[in-house]
Structure formats: structure tokens, C-alpha cells
Amino acid sequence: MKKLQILGTGCPKCKKLAENAEAAAKAAGVEIELVKVTDIHEIMKFGVMMTPAMVIDGVVKVAGKVPDVEAIQKLLA
């Protein structure tokens, strides 16, 4: 199981990234634990200056944009 964290304050882009991540994991057949990180101090610990961002198993993979489902599938592979 991969730990996937969505970093953001809950804006529409953050919600879309979470939706895309769930759809990508389902399509790829990958089990994920999805955690939404909304605390700005926790987000800053990742060194992320632009949200939304996505962290997979502790590594920042995306920051400042919302990749589509196919792009997230590639990141999960």
C-alpha cells in the first residue's frame, strides 16, 4: 500500500487532485492510504511553496498543479 498525501488548504484544486489520485489508484489497481494535509506548517515541512501538492511515500511528486488521472497513474507505477 502506498501512502499518498495531498497537501493543500482545501481549495477546489486540492479537492480535484484528491479525486484524480483516487481515480488513478483505482484504475491502476494500486491500494493507497489517502491523507489530506491542510495545516500550513505541516505543508511547509515538505518544502512545498505552491499547493496543491502530492506526496507519495514521503517524496514530493507534484507541486503547484493538478495532473490528470493518467499522469498520476504513471507516478504510482
Selected catalytic residue, list 3, 11, 33, 57: 11
Q: Is 14 a catalytic residue?
A: yes
- Determine the residue type at 18: A
Q: Is 1 a catalytic residue?
A: no
- Helix or strand or coil: residue 51? coil
Selected catalytic residue, list 4, 14, 21, 48: 14
With 0-12 CB in 10 A as exposed, 13-18 as middle and 19+ as buried, what is 68? exposed
The catalytic residue positions are 11, 14
